[in-house]
Structure 1
Amino acid sequence: MKIAISYPEVEQQILKAAKAPVKLSFVDRDSVNVAYGKKILLMTISVKLTVVRIQGNDIFFKYDGGAPLDMVISGITQYLTKSKLGEIIEPKENHTILVHLQNIPQLKKALEILSPKAINFTNDGIALTLAFND
């Protein structure tokens, strides 16, 4: 089973939950660019997230960055974890961000009987492939 979620839908949910304006854009099949809309030091912060793996109902993303970007990403993720997204997004070590799909209200029921098998990005949005639990 495949679920398609448009980038504007995800952006709207993030804005609603965390009051954080983000813009998502396609990079390649495994990567999406996330631009944080609030101006920080007169710049828009942008980072490429790449899917590393799916483990159970969790998706691990990796981002590229040096020390300055790490500080900014750390601040943004700390802000997000204090919002309604705190149960969904978990910053990890080594430029990794963990997304807990089971904590997304719109997916909670579906994940009781389905498990994520793959996630891909398209020009239009996110394609999540699910299979029935054994």
Structure 2
Amino acid sequence: MSTTTLDKPTTKRSKISSGSALMTWRKQRGISRKLFAQMADCSERKLATYEAAPKLPPKIKRPVNETVRLIQALRELAGDDIELKDWLNRPNPAFGKKTPLTLITQGESDLLWEMVYQLRQGAFA
């Protein structure tokens, strides 16, 4: 599995504080505005407004940074951005045939974090 230094769990977590940093981070990973907006629980239009802002408003900083951390953790396991995007949209028997993206949009990302934790600990090995 290939990872970047930023995606390793032992590395200092990235923190996005400006709209341009968010847009750059998102585009470098090939993550569409639509997908990121779904994961961060905001509209595409709002996300576009935030990305144009020099500083992210306090109300969106937390969801943005939580989404960034979740994407980093899932990408670490998926291996690359393309596989991650496919996996997010594929029904998964481990989640009652829901897609991981459905879990995120329904406020159940804790199930994904539990999976990440278990895989990092080798619980499924």
Same fold (TM over 0.5): no
Query: Would you tell me which structure has more strand in proportion to its own residues?
Result: 1
TM-score (norm 2): 0.29
